[in-house]
Amino acid sequence: MANVLTPQGEDFPRWYQDVVAKAQLAENGPAKGQQVIRPTGFALWERMVDEMDARIKETGTENASFPLLIPESYFRREADHVEGFAPELWTVTHAGGKELEEKLAVRPTSETIIGEYMAKWVKSYRDLPLLLNQWCNVMRYELRTRLFLRSSEFLWQEGHTVHESYEDAHEFTLRILHDVYADFMENVLALPVLRGIKTEAERFAGALNTFAVEALMRDGKALQMGTSHELGQNFARAFDIQFQGKDGQQAHGWTTSWGTSTRMVGGLIMGHGDDSGLRVPPRLAPVQAYVMVVKDSDEVQGAAKQVFDELKSSGLRVKLDHRADVAFGRRAVDAELKGYPVRIEIGPRDLKNGEATLVSRVKGVKETVPLGMLAEAVAAALEGDQQALFDEALERRERLTADAATVDEAVEAAQTGYARLPWDACGVEGEQKAAAAGVTVRVLQREDGSVPDSLDEPGLIAYLARSY
């Protein structure tokens, strides 16, 4: 089969553009940096939402919905926050043909407007913790945009919580990082992630500490997959979120916020995709098994329908391709492009032997399987491929991670992956020097790989990389 994609080794960014277009994942919108997410791409996001939402609810967090438009004055209440976000705002000035008294910003994130309501709802320690999340769209003005990775509008979830104490808020921030974000990314997306704390330069505007999960893409660049912020009492003070404590005293709450977005679709593409297209991990895949007729005949169509029904009733997500009027080769290439984990080809030759051909997208293995054993064989292939994708990504990350002793060494090593550098040997100055060379500190970890409580801990290790 002819290459429909630019090979990754030739031009990775071009490969990415090709996959997004050819697998019909997304297109540019009419206004700057906006995106149209097509059904194939959106189905990936829908599955992410399902899996993430279940994990978010497990923490006791409830979903809600806050307004799209935020009065500009809200931003000004938290000094760091307004400084960080003011340059990125999209602004509504008119409605119903008239100029508004106060300009409204399309939300770039909702700490401010949610803070305003939290202040009304939180009166007593009995109201805490208050755990909220919303799935919505946000907009940030961007000069250089790339579909899924950096767009003016994107879809995301943003969690916002209030707690009684620093300890409670800190613990919850890390619970989201580990039990929701990292768990979803490693066990469903099959992408190993580095968990750590961000430097001051990379911290969320208005936060005390930002924690993040970062995945390594196949070109050796890092992608921030999600962040969880400890906001201290900064927003509680700015929005007057106070409660009466068990001791009868009024106190400001401790808030957190945390988000993941359609950017994860970009991470999925670049973390697993190969020269034939996407490779979607089975646990995520909207279509786990793709049942195709090879040629047209009543017998083939009947058998394909039967296999489809059988796999569907075994609980798998299955799609039936009965379009015998479209060339088989074209449909097979399209199935590879879209990364369906398992393809089942039903043709007259196999059928004569009571068999079908099973093709694994991850391993590229073709095998003929007796029809009666298909459900089992598909389940085994899916299980194996989920693990194989994770193992491959982990092995790649380990191979592309190098120890460095100086900033210069780290910048050099970061050309192909992660550089591990003692934070003492880097520091804010080293960070600036690396940044000038296009390399940033992605996260800081403890020596043993665990997540530090703050930047003040001694002996931290910095992971530097080029990034998206």
| Among residues 90, 172, 211, 243, the one that binds its own copies under rule CB under 8 A | 90
136 binds its own copies (CB under 8 A): yes
Cβ-Cβ contacts under 8 Å for 42 (sequence gap 6 or more): none
Residue entry with tokens 């990292």: 182
CA distance 468 to 464: 13
313 touches its own copies (CB under 8 A)? no
Helix (H, G, I), strand (E, B) or coil at 194: strand
216 binds its own copies (CB under 8 A): no
What DSSP designation does 87 have?
G
Q: How far apart are CA 289 and CA 250, in angstroms?
A: 57
| Distance, CA of 307 to CA of 322 (rounded, Å) | 12
42 binds its own copies (CB under 8 A): yes
Q: How far apart are CA 402 and CA 304, in angstroms?
A: 50
Minimal distance, residue 123 CB to its own copies, in Å? 13
Residue 322 identity: H
25 binds its own copies (CB under 8 A): no
324 binds its own copies (CB under 8 A): no
- Which H or E run includes 428? helix 427-436
> According to the binding rule CB under 8 A, does residue 201 interact with its own copies?
no
Q: How far is the CB of 67 from its own copies (least distance, A)?
A: 4
CB of 459 to its own copies, least distance (A): 41
213: left (phi over 0), alpha (psi -120 to 50) or beta: beta
Under rule CB under 8 A, residue 270 binds its own copies: no
Question: Least CB distance from residue 189 to its own copies, whole Å?
Answer: 20
Q: Measured from the CB atom, is 155 or 332 closer to its own copies? A: 155
β-pair partners for 77: none
Q: Does 239 bind its own copies (CB under 8 A)?
A: no
Residues 382, 311: contact at Cβ < 8 Å? no
CA–CA separation, 11 vs 121, rounded Å? 52
Q: Closest by alpha carbon to 393, among 194, 98, 208, 252? A: 194
Nearer to its own copies, 42 or 243 (CB): 42
Is 43 an interacting residue with respect to its own copies (CB under 8 A)?
yes
Residue closer to its own copies by CB (options 49, 460) is: 49
Are the C-beta atoms of residues 15 and 1 closer than 8 Å to each other? no
Retrieve residue 465's tokens. 């990389």
Contact flag: residue 353 with its own copies (CB under 8 A): no
74 is an interface residue for its own copies by CB under 8 A = yes
Tell whether residue 248 is a contact of its own copies (CB under 8 A).
no
Which DSSP symbol is given to 97? T
Binding of its own copies by 113 (CB under 8 A):
yes
Q: Give the number of residues written for the chain.
A: 468
Minimum CB distance to its own copies smaller for 247 or for 447:
247
Judge if the upstream peptide bond of residue 30 is cis by omega within 30 degrees of 0. no
**Residue 389 token pair:** 């994708």
**Number of residues near its own copies (by CB under 8 A):** 56
The single-letter code of the amino acid at 445 is Q
Return all residues near 257 (Cβ < 8 A) that are at least 6 apart: 109, 111, 158, 159, 160, 161, 204, 207, 228, 229, 231
Choices 114-122, 287-295, 310-318, 422-430; region in contact with its own copies by CB under 8 A? 114-122
Interface with its own copies includes 423 (CB under 8 A)?
Answer: no
Q: What is the DSSP letter of 278?
A: -
Q: CB–CB of 467/222 below 8 Å?
A: yes
If one asks whether residue 70 binds its own copies (CB under 8 A), the answer comes out as yes
Q: Which is nearer to its own copies, 132 or 316 (CB)?
A: 132
Window of 15-23, 31-39, 75-83, 439-447 that interacts with its own copies by CB under 8 A: 31-39
Q: Is residue 87 part of the contact set for its own copies (CB under 8 A)?
A: yes
Asked if 104 interacts with its own copies (CB under 8 A), we say yes
What minimum distance in Å lies between the beta carbon of 103 and its own copies?
8
Residue 35 binds its own copies, judged by CB under 8 A = yes
Shortest gap between Cβ of 10 and its own copies (angstroms)?
A: 27
* Footprint of its own copies (CB under 8 A): 27, 29-32, 34-39, 42-43, 45-46, 62-71, 74, 86-97, 100, 104, 106, 113, 116-117, 120, 126, 132, 136-137, 139, 141, 143, 152-153, 155, 326
